[in-house]
Amino acid sequence: MKKIWNKIKPWILKHEVCVYVAIGMLVIFGSLLAIQDISYKIEKAKILKDQEELITHVENLSVITDNQRAVIVNQKFVIENREATIRRASDIIKQQGEALQKLIEYMKRINEWPPEFPEDNPDNWT
């Protein structure tokens, strides 16, 4: 090691300015490289943080979507039940209408149609 140093030392002393300039440039470019690397890592950290936030939002939206899907399925079930109830009520009303029509026809046959009602007297109201 000492032999190498003895050979290099005269050359370094002869080109002292160039060595200082080279060391200075190494420091400057090394600093620029370190700053650039730090900037890159900061930007990468921001991107990773944004990705994590987006993933969280997507997961939340997925949960919300699943809940909405369950609500829609439940609403469909309720609507189908109500439609069936309305159909049954419609059938009952139709049957009642038919029964009333038969009753009217019967009352016509026995000459009781139209029925006579007593006068409506407010004093008789209770």
State the pLDDT confidence band at 126, using cuts at 50, 70 and 90.
low
**What pLDDT does residue 114 have?**
83
Against a cut of 0.75, is the pTM above it?
Answer: no
Q: What percent of the chain has pLDDT over 70?
A: 98
**What pLDDT does residue 46 have?**
97
Predicted confidence (pLDDT) per residue in 26-83, tens digit = 999 999 999 999 999 999 999 999 999 999 999 999 999 999 999 999 999 999 999 9
Q: Which residues, other chains included, contact 113 with Cβ-Cβ below 8 Å and sequence gap of 6+?
A: 104, 107
CA 86 to CA 89: how far, in whole Å? Answer: 5
Across residues 20-26, what is the average pLDDT?
94
